[in-house]
């Protein structure tokens, strides 16, 4: 890629679990990515609008249950013309939710215990593949 990877990080709910997103955002920034913090309590329309306005390569959502917003973001991203941003989800995701999330359009799910290196590596590799295909 000719430019830094741009990633929008959002915690769609006000559940109080902010630390994971802060740690992951700092690690992505330290790895050379441009992190745009989208805040909390955004709905699917606000998340996808921010992603378009910021021209991001990746949307990262920090979740703790209540996956309705994720499914709505997937729907909104499918409506976009052209290439959509990667969508990654991290946080407390029960094992039985992972397959439905990926089938709906989530590119990767990172559960508690996922290493920061695995998240960074995944994002770099997928963005590199996408740039090569463009």
Contact of 13 with 66, CB cutoff 8 Å:
yes
Nearest alpha carbon to residue 123 among 37, 13, 1, 41? 1
Average of per-residue pLDDT across 122-134:
92
* 10-133: CATH topology: Rossmann fold (3.40.50)
Q: What confidence tens digit (pLDDT) does each residue in 57-76 have? A: 999 999 877 789 999 999 99
CA distance 21 to 89: 10
What is this structure's pTM?
0.93
> Within the chain, how many helices (H) and strands (E) appear?
5, 5
- Higher pLDDT, residue 38 or 108: 108
Which residue is listed with tokens 């215990």?
113
């Amino acid at each position: 890629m000719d430019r830094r990877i741009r990633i929008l990080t959002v915690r769609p709910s006000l559940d109080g679990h902010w630390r994971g997103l802060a740690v992951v955002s700092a690690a992505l920034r330290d790895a050379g990515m441009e992190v745009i913090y989208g805040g909390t309590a955004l709905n699917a329309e606000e998340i996808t609008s921010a992603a378009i306005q910021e021209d991001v390569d990746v949307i990262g959502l920090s979740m703790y249950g209540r996956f309705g917003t994720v499914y709505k973001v997937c729907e909104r991203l499918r409506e976009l013309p052209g290439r959509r941003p990667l969508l990654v989800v991290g946080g407390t995701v029960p094992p039985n939710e992972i397959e439905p999330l990926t089938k709906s359009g989530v590119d990767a799910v990172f559960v508690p215990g996922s290493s920061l290196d695995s998240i960074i590596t995944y994002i770099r590799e997928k963005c590199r593949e996408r740039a090569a295909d463009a």
